[in-house]
């Protein structure tokens, strides 16, 4: 099977992946656009895993003030080279994450960053709920674990569904950028301010 240049171009525009990867994805998926997108996402995840150990000491610190001046966010996102840090696509990624933080109000980067008091409080609450609902003792731990996973998706930035495309998480967004740039990219830290809070 062969794929047309217009199919490759369409997939490249949609995903931002390199041309050769787009062509290979379309060939492997028999020209099916959605399967090709999934193929590229999986490749992005494996690429991200390979690059995650590399030093990322370049990047940017950027800020966003939402309309009405009631919410502001400051973020540091790191990459490996100054060249990538200055690119429009990298700055667009940073802006998208800033906008997401302003809207979604995460409290930390990932579950390892959750304050212990938050975590133990939530776990205790879910355990009490499961017991009140009459769940068997051997099921309670599974119920608590499932509810904690949902909680992480609400409060941990990297696990939250991206506000512009809820089919991907912020971590997926970062992984796609890693695949696109060929560099390790890390959302290092952020601070969100809300007037009166």
Q: Given pLDDT bands bounded at 50, 70 and 90, which one contains residue 100?
A: very high
Q: Which pLDDT tens digit goes with each residue over 49-90?
A: 555 566 777 999 999 999 899 999 999 999 999 999 999 999
pLDDT at 192: 96
Tell me what the pLDDT averaged over the chain comes to: 86
Residue 95 contacts residue 74 (beta carbons within 8 Å): no
pTM over 0.85: no
pLDDT at 134: 84
Residue 45: which of 171, 175, 165, 166 has the closest Cα?
A: 175
Sorted by where each starts, the structural domains of the chain and their CATH numbers stand as 5-51 (1.10.8.10), 58-109+156-194 (3.30.479.20), 115-154 (1.10.286)
């Amino acid at each position: 099977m062969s794929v047309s240049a217009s199919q490759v171009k369409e997939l490249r525009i949609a995903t931002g992946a390199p041309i050769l990867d787009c062509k290979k994805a379309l060939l492997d998926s028999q020209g099916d656009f959605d399967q090709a997108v999934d193929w590229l996402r999986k490749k992005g995840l494996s690429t991200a895993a390979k690059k995650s150990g590399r030093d990322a000491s370049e990047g940017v610190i950027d800020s966003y003030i939402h309309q009405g001046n009631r919410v502001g966010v400051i973020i540091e996102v790191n990459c490996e080279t100054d060249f990538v840090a200055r690119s429009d696509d990298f700055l667009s990624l940073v802006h998208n994450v800033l906008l997401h933080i302003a809207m979604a109000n995460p409290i930390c980067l990932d579950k390892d960053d959750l304050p212990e008091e938050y975590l133990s409080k939530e776990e205790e609450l879910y355990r009490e709920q499961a017991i009140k609902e009459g769940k068997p003792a051997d099921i309670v731990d599974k119920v608590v674990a499932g509810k904690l996973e949902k909680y992480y998706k609400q409060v941990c930035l990297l696990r939250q569904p991206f506000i512009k495309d809820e089919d991907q998480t912020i971590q997926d967004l970062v992984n796609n950028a890693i695949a696109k740039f060929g560099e390790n990219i890390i959302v290092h830290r952020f601070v969100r301010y809300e007037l009166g809070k």
